Amino acid sequence: MMIGYARVSSIDQNEARQIEEFKKLGTEKNFIDKQSGKNCDRPQLKEMLQYVR
């Protein structure tokens, strides 16, 4: 199973290019965080790590 994780560092940035790559790669599940670089809290990363365990 292939899983994708993407993070953009601000709400103004767009994760569309990363999602397009996930589609090309055939990822089955994707997790995306939109967080500032100064904020270490990444809820989707934590959820992804729980998912793969």
Of the residues 2, 3, 9, 10, which is catalytic? 9
The span from the CA of 2 to the CA of 18, in Å, is 14
Helix, strand, or coil (residue 37): coil
Q: Is 9 marked active-site?
A: yes
Q: Name, in order, each residue with C-beta under 8 angstroms of 24's C-beta and a sequence gap of 6 or more.
A: none
Question: What are the residue numbers of the active site?
Answer: 9
